[in-house]
Amino acid sequence: MSTSLPPLRDARDSDSEPLAALVAASFAEYPNCHFIWDEFPELRRPATHYAAKGGRLWIADAPDGSVAGSIAVAPVPEQNAVELTKVYVAPGWRGAGLAQALFANVLGFAQVGGYSEMMLWSDTRFARGHRFYEKLGFARWPGERYLGDVSFTWEYHFRKRLAGQPA
């Protein structure tokens, strides 16, 4: 890993395979957490998917051509909120500030859009990610949801109020 952060850019549909590889590698770190293409159709054309939702997906390119990290955001207008998804950082880039740099893009998107809140859902197994979200000011909300996927995933709900935005 380089001492400087990899560049961040808007995702392209051609990022499909390297982004899927990052997600699959992240899942592989946890017992019984499996990546199945059919459960992630948005990864076939990721830029198109998020653009159609009025959102964005950012990619951090590693020097070796892989994806070092990703984060996506899409509006949830009925809640005056944005939802974060695809929050992944490759192990070799963790602790280097890449996740914070990716999050800064999402925060800027939310602030420019005048959204009052950010939210996300995270697999109950992803404890390291939960600690990161809490450091960023997210709070875990009551309740969980079950996805009914091949990994038997249960997720926690996290929310963060944005300062200076209307409720």
- Nearest Cα neighbor of 86 from 122, 134, 45 is 122
Q: Is residue 120 part of a domain?
A: yes
29: CATH: 3.40.630.30
Q: What is the pLDDT of residue 165?
A: 55
Q: What is the pLDDT of residue 163?
A: 79
Q: Is residue 167 part of a domain?
A: no
CA–CA separation, 142 and 23 (whole Å)? 26
Cα dist. 35→19, 40, 64, 92, 141 in Å?
Answer: 12, 8, 22, 20, 26
The number of folded domains in the chain is 1
- How confident is residue 48, by pLDDT bands cut at 50, 70 and 90? very high
CA–CA separation, 72 and 91 (whole Å)? 19
- Tokens 């963060």: give the residue: 160
The 10s digit of each residue's pLDDT in 115-154 is 999 999 999 999 999 999 999 999 999 989 999 999 999 9
Across the range 13-33, mean pLDDT stands at 96
Q: Is residue 90 part of a domain?
A: yes
Torsion angles phi and psi, residue 124, rounded to 5: -60, -20
Q: Is residue 2 part of a domain?
A: no
The 10s digit of each residue's pLDDT in 90-105 is 999 999 999 999 999 9
**Structural domain for 60, as ranges:** 8-161
Q: Is residue 166 part of a domain?
A: no
